[in-house]
Homo-oligomer: A and B are copies of this chain.
């Protein structure tokens, strides 16, 4: 019953967020959460995400690590006109490219600023050689992509508006997910997770949450690309957790 598409193993991605403002706790990074959720919805598994300072060496090192073993790298932040905007230069270095004036980017920026053009604005047109543009709907500074690295502004509204335009370049799929909750402690049903977790193509997560009064709820999530398998494993788990809940209630 499963289609060919579901048999393909899902694509993977890494996310790099650039910005001192996040590392000093001034700004809550909502971009990476949004990207994780959006990519998951596209059937792309995020393997790692990282935040580094506005520092060329740090960004280069991060890009090299994050590209390792994944299909796509999504980068956000550091492509504006100020001295701390060093992402363009760092991406060029990480991919071994020269930083050159991109003619189309320069045309867009000159047209936007007209007689208010200056060196700092033109700097936003200097991109790694071979980069293709990601159009910015509200602002002159374009995003760009080359090889498997996609670079966006860090302003959340712009990132979200611009992200859609790259989806055609990604190989998407679909994840199926089933979840349920229990008030049992994780250590009361660990044995079940160990015995059911076997087998590729399905992953099981267990996420405890504490409420304001100190009580616990655990959410158990089963996910994978094979809908039937996800349903079978989730039903079995739910049934066995229910048995344990009944056994505990019987003891009290």
- Answer whether residue A9 sits at the interface, using C-beta atoms and an 8 A cutoff: no
- Answer whether residue A114 sits at the interface, using C-beta atoms and an 8 A cutoff: no
Contact with B along A45-87 (1 / 0, CB 8 A): 1111111111000100110010000000000000011111000
The one of B38, B53, B84 in contact with A25, judged by C-beta atoms closer than 8 angstroms, is: B38
Residues of the B chain whose Cβ atoms lie less than 8 Å from the Cβ of A2: none
A82→B47 contact, CB < 8 A:
no
Within 8 A of B (CB), among A9-59: 20-30, 32-41, 45-54, 58
With A48-B62, A210-B158 in contact, do A81 and B187 touch (Cβ < 8 Å)? yes
Number of interface residues of A (CB under 8 A): 69
- Measured in the bound complex, the distance between the Cα atoms of B85 and A206 in whole Å is 9
Number of copies: 2
The one of B48, B58, B81, B207 in contact with A27, judged by C-beta atoms closer than 8 angstroms, is: B207
- Measured in the bound complex, the distance between the Cα atoms of B121 and A190 in whole Å is 9
- Measured in the bound complex, the distance between the Cα atoms of B6 and A143 in whole Å is 40
Residues of the B chain whose Cβ atoms lie less than 8 Å from the Cβ of A33: 22, 25, 28-29
B58→A46 contact, CB < 8 A:
no
- Measured in the bound complex, the distance between the Cα atoms of B48 and A36 in whole Å is 19
Contact with B along A108-146 (1 / 0, CB 8 A): 000001000011110010000000000000100000000
Among A23, A45, A54, A120, max chain B CB count under 10 A is at A23
Instruction: A23-B49, A47-B53, A84-B204 are known; give 5 further A-B pairs, CB within 8 A.
Output: A21-B207, A25-B41, A82-B186, A118-B187, A120-B186
Q: Which positions in A face B, CB cutoff 8 Å?
A: 20-30, 32-41, 45-54, 58, 61-62, 65, 80-84, 113, 118-121, 124, 138, 155, 157-158, 175, 186-187, 190-191, 193-194, 197, 203-210, 214, 221, 223
